[in-house]
Amino acid sequence: MDTLVLLGSFFLLMIVGVPVAYALGLAALAGALWMELPLDAVMIQIASGVNKFSLLAIPFFVLAGAIMAEGGMSRRLVAFAGVLVGFIRGGLSLVNILASTFFGAISGSSVADTASIGSVLIPEMERKGYPRDFATAVTVSGSVQAILIPPSHNAVIYSLAAGGGVSIGALFMAGVFPGLLLGLTLAILCLFIARKRNFPKGEVIPLRQALRICADALWGLATLFIILGGILSGVFTATESASIAVVWAFFVTMFIYRDYQWSELPRLVHRTVKTVSIVMILIGFAASFGYIMTLMQIPLKVTGFFAALSDNRYVILLMINVLLLVLGTLMDMAPLILILTPILLPLVTKLGVDPVHFGMIMMVNLGIGLLTPPVGAVLFVGSAVAKLKIEAVVQALYPFFGAMLLVLAMVTFIPAISLWLPNLMFK
């Protein structure tokens, strides 16, 4: 009955249109009242949920990504990717994916990636003879790399949801190969489609112009090397690297590129504060929700349920993947990480799955959910940028879903893809 009160009130609030964050908080209050807990305990959990030093990484990375996104970085990354792969048949689709790889390594946000890269490349791909729905499908699927390749905001949230026992630096390193594998798989698919549908080739950029484009883009790409180099060398932590990324992004945008007006900075900061406020409210309420779940022993009950079905690690992981894919169509990524990690992590660790590896499994699963209706945030942004109906984009995404499910299977059942690099760097 305890579980029914907590989860039932949460889903009922969701059904009537209450935002996820507030539904979590109100459901936690309902559960506390049912268990006759003092409401002070819920308030303490909300406050302690956001009172963590590691959470400072989120506003700093969001701000750094926003500065680079609006300061001309996306245009320069597109040009740089064009130098590398633009001359191949279907090269603009490869440019799109490679630009998302570079930009995702700076912004850490799939939505920002889709908005920035899509606004540049979707019209350009259509002008060069690519169908608009295909260009949009390439853009939104390629942007999923941003939640895997460091610095990923969602890796920070997963570390928090796991109780702070999973290193953010290890999660950052774990996302490198899955992110690159996703980009490579999508690129191979695009090459196959380009040959089948006879998409145009691009032009080879003259050497002098290519060198100028590369030099221009390297200022922004240096952000990635500063972040990862500092973490791996031990000069600063993942959280401290976020603040350094902001300083570097500000310097490059305002003093090197100089495409952004000083008068626009207050509006950019205001948008960033709004975004971060929403995330922090969600984290605080999710902490109280998780606290009530723990008191009700819901994680233990779920573990017992799955254990009764099978004791095979791979069967359990397959069932969890199906569960995450279904839930990813119904809820956004951050709340699902905060809700499900405390429930599922004890189960998989009992089966011998590394928490860092499971984090990558969750990221890929829920990244696919960002592209699926009815609540796929990246799908909505891509459709809006391309001015296409969601149905048209989803239809064009079918082969890309197949490629992403293949990557999900590889990341799930080949742990070394996620664990080799963090084991090398941190052990």
CA–centroid distance for 151 within its chain:
9
- For 27-72, the pLDDT digits (tens) are 888 888 888 888 888 888 888 877 777 777 778 878 877 787 777 7
Residue 346 pLDDT exceeds 90: no
- What distance in Å separates the CA atoms of residue 393 and residue 379, rounded to the nearest whole number? 8
User: 105 falls in which pLDDT band (50, 70, 90)?
Assistant: confident
SS3 329: coil
Beta bridge partners of 89: 201
User: 412 falls in which pLDDT band (50, 70, 90)?
Assistant: very high
- What distance in Å separates the CA atoms of residue 419 and residue 175, rounded to the nearest whole number? 9
Quick one: what percent of the chain has pLDDT higher than 70?
Answer: 98
Quick one: what percent of the chain has pLDDT higher than 90?
Answer: 17
Residue 236 pLDDT exceeds 90: no
- What distance in Å separates the CA atoms of residue 182 and residue 146, rounded to the nearest whole number? 11
* Between 301 and 325, the higher pLDDT residue: 325
- What distance in Å separates the CA atoms of residue 53 and residue 134, rounded to the nearest whole number? 42
* Between 17 and 383, the higher pLDDT residue: 383
User: 386 falls in which pLDDT band (50, 70, 90)?
Assistant: confident
Look up the domain containing 337 and give its range.
2-426
User: 427 falls in which pLDDT band (50, 70, 90)?
Assistant: low
CA dihedral of 162, 167, 172, 173, whole degrees rounded to 10:
-130
Least confident of 85-94, 227-236, 278-287, 382-391: 227-236
Closest CA to 168 of 237, 222, 245: 237
- What distance in Å separates the CA atoms of residue 166 and residue 223, rounded to the nearest whole number? 24
Closest CA to 3 of 207, 211, 304: 304
User: 354 falls in which pLDDT band (50, 70, 90)?
Assistant: very high
- For 158-186, the pLDDT digits (tens) are 988 888 778 888 898 899 999 999 999 99
**Sequence-ordered list of residues with C-beta below 8 angstroms from that of 159, at least 6 positions apart, any chain:** 54, 166, 167, 168, 171, 359
- What distance in Å separates the CA atoms of residue 244 and residue 299, rounded to the nearest whole number? 38
Residue with the two structure tokens 């196959």: 192
Is the CA virtual torsion 314, 315, 318, 323 positive or negative? negative
pLDDT score at 365: 93
**Sequence-ordered list of residues with C-beta below 8 angstroms from that of 426, at least 6 positions apart, any chain:** 167, 169, 170, 173
Q: Return the number of other C-beta atoms located less than 10 Å from residue 213's C-beta.
A: 19
φ/ψ bin of 72: left (φ > 0), alpha (ψ from -120 to 50), beta (otherwise) = left
User: 299 falls in which pLDDT band (50, 70, 90)?
Assistant: confident
Question: Considering its fold, how many domains does the chain have in total?
Answer: 1
Mean pLDDT over 111-140 rounds to 85
User: 399 falls in which pLDDT band (50, 70, 90)?
Assistant: very high
Residue 145 pLDDT exceeds 80: yes
Closest CA to 338 of 160, 116, 119, 78: 160
Beta bridge partners of 185: none
pLDDT score at 333: 83
Instruction: For residue 1, count CB atoms less than 10 angstroms from its CB and return exposed for 0-12, middle for 13-18, buried for 19 or more.
Output: exposed
DSSP label at residue 45: H
SS3 297: coil
- What distance in Å separates the CA atoms of residue 130 and residue 305, rounded to the nearest whole number? 49
Residue 1 pLDDT exceeds 70: yes
